[in-house]
Amino acid sequence: MKVKCTKKAAAEKVVVKAEEKVAKRPYHRKAPVVETKEVEFTVHADKDKNVFLAGEFNNWDPTAKKMSYKARKGIYTATVKLPAGKYQYKFVIDGTWCADPENVNSVQNDQGTFNSVIEVK
């Protein structure tokens, strides 16, 4: 048996109304501004040495912060921006780790030697 449709079903018309588009931006909270201070580290060492600064502030990377030689003063210097806090550090002079001889603040480390400590306020 064949079924014959004589009437076509009316096609539904879908009308999409243009809605006012509002640009929804996700709410982003700005990170708090952390104040930093420039801290200058200095060490006396002979000219033509490879001198680096390593510490908690650069994950103790012995080559992350190369120090510059200042011929007039006979010292190596490096400036690092640090937020307030206490930081342990050492100088690496031609591959040898050295505590800061001019800083009396130090703590013993797990290697049996001492790390110099600086406090940034």
Among candidate residues 77, 85, 79, 84, the one with its CA nearest the CA of residue 36: 84
What pLDDT is attached to residue 36? 94
User: Is 50 inside a domain boundary?
Assistant: yes
Print pLDDT tens along the chain (121 aa): 444 444 454 555 555 555 555 555 666 677 788 899 999 999 999 999 999 999 999 999 999 999 999 999 999 999 999 999 999 999 999 999 999 999 999 999 999 999 999 999 9
Among candidate residues 78, 33, 32, the one with its CA nearest the CA of residue 57: 78
What pLDDT is attached to residue 116? 98
What pLDDT is attached to residue 4? 47
Per the structure, the count of domains in the chain is 1
What pLDDT is attached to residue 25? 60
User: Is 114 inside a domain boundary?
Assistant: yes
What pLDDT is attached to residue 33? 81
CATH number for 66:
2.60.40.10
What pLDDT is attached to residue 32? 80
* Domain range enclosing 89: 44-120
